[in-house]
Every structure is written in C-alpha cells, then in structure tokens.
Amino acid sequence: MTIKSGINMAYSTILLDGLESDNVDMKVTESEASWIASLVTITLPIGSLIAGPLMDKFGRKIVCLLSCVPAAIAWVSLIFAKSLITIYAARVVAGISAGLTTVGLVYISEITHPQIRSMLLCLTSVFVSFGILIPCCLAVMLDWRKMNIIFFVLECFIFFILYFVPESPYWLVCFQNGMLDEKRICKMKHSLRQLNKRQTIYEEEYSRIMETCGNRVVNDKASKNIIASVKNYYHTFASPEAYKPMLILFLLFLLQQLSGSYVIIFYAISVFREMGGTFGNFNEHGALVMLGTIRFVISIVTVFCSRKYGRRVLCILSGIGMAISMFLSGMYMHFAVSYDENGNTEETMVDQKWLLLFFVLAYICTGSFGFIIIPWTLIGELLPVSIRGIGGGVMVSFAYIIMFAVIKSYPYILKSMTIESIFFFFSFVSLIGAAFIYFFLPETLGKSFSDIEKFFSSTRKKKMHDTRRSANSRDP
C-alpha cells in the first residue's frame, strides 16, 4: 500500500517533464507546475483525517481496500487527461488516496507480534523508497501516459492481494458493532488463527488482545448521541495514555521536519547547486542518484536493526549523526566559500568538494537510519487502541502539514540566509531531537500494547509513588 505514496512523490517530476516536452495543448506555467507538484501533499492530510473514523467504523481491511479505489480513478483520469483541470483533479484524488494508506500503519501494528512489529513497520518506509525508484526507472522506457497504465494495473493487483488478508483481530473485538459475544470472539479467533499458525504464538496473542481490548468494546449506539460521543472522545483523548504519546509524536514530527531531512530530499538538486554543483566526478544529478540509493539501502538496514536494538537507540544515534554531518557541512561552506563586496561567491577548496558531498550524504544516511523513518512507525505503537484510528490520522495529517510548510518556505528562507547558516540550523535541531528522544521517548521493542499504555497511564506513577511512600514509612 505504501508504495503508492512513494510513486506519487516521484511522479510529479516525471509528469511535469512530460508536459513540458510533449507537443500537446497542455503547456503549464511555473505557477501551474507548482500546483501540480504540491496538490498531493496538500490533500494528503484530508485522507489521513478521514481514515481514522472510517477504519474504526468499517474495519482496517475495508479501508485498505477503499484506498485503492480513488488511486485507480486518479490513474485512469491521467491516462485520458486532455485538460489541466483533469490533472488537478487527479492529483487531488491521488493525495486523498495516499492519506488513506495511514490505515496500513495501524493494521500492521495490530496483526504483528511485538518482537517483529518494529521491523515490519519500518518496512513501510522501505516501500515508500521503493515507490520513489519505480517511476524513475520507468521514465527511461515510457512516457507519462503509458506509465499511468502500469500504475493502474499495479493498483488493481494491490486490491486483489488485500482482498484475501484477514481483518485485524483487535478491531473485531474492540470496535465492531454490538456487544462482545461469542460470535465476535469466534471471528477474532478465526482471523488470529490465519495470522498465527503456531499454537503457542496464537495463545500468546489471544491473551494480549483480550487484555488490551476486553474492557474497551466500543458500542456504536452511544455515538448516536452527538454530545455524548464528543464527551466520550474528549475523556478518551484527555487520558494520560492518549495525550502523552500524542504530545511526544507532535514534538517528534516537528523536530523531524525542522531538522531538514525532507528539505534535502525534496530540494536535492537545488541544494547541490547551492553547494557548487560538481563534486569531483559527480554533478548534481549523479549526487541525486546516490542520495536516493543510499536512502533505499539504509532503510532496509534499519528494518533489521530496529528489531535488535529498538527505536530509542537508533533514533538517538541518528539524531547525533545528522547533527555532526550538518555541522561539518556548514563548517566546510564557512571556510571554503567566501563572498566579495558584490555578494558573489568564490570557492577556495575546489579539490576537496567531494568532502562536502560526503557530509551531506552522511546526513541522509544517518537520517534514514532512524529520524526519517522511525517516527512514522511509532504512530502504530505509541497510540492506544481506543484512539489509534483517529489519533493516527491526526498525527499523519500534522506531519504532512508541517512538511508542506517547511518545504514551501525553504526557497524564501534561502533568500534571507546562506546555505551554511541553514546547515547549522539543521544541525542544532537534529541535536535537540536526539536529546528529546533520550529524555521522553520510551522503548517499545518487545512490549505489548497493554504494556505501552500502562507506561503512559497516571495510575502507574501513582502506584510507584504509593510503593515508595510505603517503603519509606517502614524505614526506621
């Protein structure tokens, strides 16, 4: 499912290049081109927000299937597009479809064992990276219209595969309409058996699900009363196990975007040109290929490392590595580039420019090792089951809104600051991010959802306080 998000990111460049080179009536201006590129990012939060209520109401599997429908419509529209309005509409629909894929994070987190949950959640970022590579490879052989046919067939294939996957056992117990009766238990057991063939793992997962969801059956009859429903959601989100992880994720995504990780990716060629454009045997386009390859390879490495070392260690090391890489990049630009009275630049270390490319690629490498990937996977782990659908949609929407704001403002910031100053700022924010993770982000490796909720609940702290107070009272 997440492949389509990567495809949408890379397809904008190919579509714009095709519109500029085709001998057709659809010639786009600079303003129109910016809208074609950004419409997916702007509308993606809409899909993320509606994904939450939809997945809680109709189930994780149904929304997974539903996400394929608007995507297929978008690709068909682009195949026969003869006007700019049709392209705009197709990009809007594609963005909403990409937002609906938020359900994938929730679904994976609920059907996997705690020991491999992080690894499979990290795979989503691997598939996003792979989705970015697909259009780049197809562009060598196909034009943008024929490419749409390939993507439409791929969407149909994804729908076919998803049709046979089981529903989330957590949803069957916690969110399906009606009381928790034997019929619902049987459905949950059947789904759980499809996911866990080994009896020991099946029994272990069954115990976890009943512990987490046994007291959280959602009765949709209560939702008919709007006031009662609003109050219920207010009390749910006001609980420590809900607002604490949401606050952590809000700040984590804010630091992730301000660290410049996506700015470097989205404006790679522009950034490389600001750095000089040539780095030994590489120009900015060769550097771009290296950047994409490094992100894809390191994201695969992260999948396996997250299972062994957990999230905290990888994110902290990633933040420190990003801070060091950006600091060294800024220092290189500070000493290697000088400005004359007219503001023109003059390079003094031309033969060592490969060092600058190395530092920036090291930044992407260390970022892909944790800070770029892992915050997205934490949405499916930190949020409690009761708000995972809606809360996950809110988190993804917030992340993409901040991403859009940062990416949109970068060209204007570059006019008022030098590239070295921006590098130093990215370094500082990355270091702040590492410190934030060290002090506030709990480790989730190997922990059940119930354990994670208990960590954030106020009752846990109250029990610890009472235990310490009783222990102190026994001391002579």
pLDDT tens track for 101-117: 888 878 888 887 777 77
- Residue 431's pLDDT is 96
Strand-pair partners of 279: 282
Q: What pLDDT sits at residue 464? A: 45
Coil, helix or strand at residue 143: coil
Domains and CATH numbers, the chain: 244-471 (1.20.1250.20)
Whether pTM > 0.75 for this model: the answer is: no
**Is residue 363 within 8 Å of residue 290, measured between CB atoms?**
no
* Among 156-170, 224-238, 395-409, 442-456, the range of highest mean pLDDT: 156-170
Confidence of residue 206 (pLDDT cuts 50, 70, 90): confident
Compute the distance between CA of residue 27 and CA of residue 12 in angstroms, rounded to an integer.
Answer: 15
Helices (H) and strands (E) in the chain — how many of each? 22, 4
Over residues 248-267, the pLDDT tens digits come to 999 999 999 999 888 877 66
Residue 283: its pLDDT value, please? Answer: 67
pLDDT at 218 over 50: no
Q: What is the DSSP string of 298-339?
A: HHHHHHHHHHHH-HHHHHHHHHHHHHHHHHHHHHHHHHHEEE
List pLDDT tens digits, range 137-186: 787 788 888 899 999 999 999 999 999 988 888 888 776 555 556 777 78
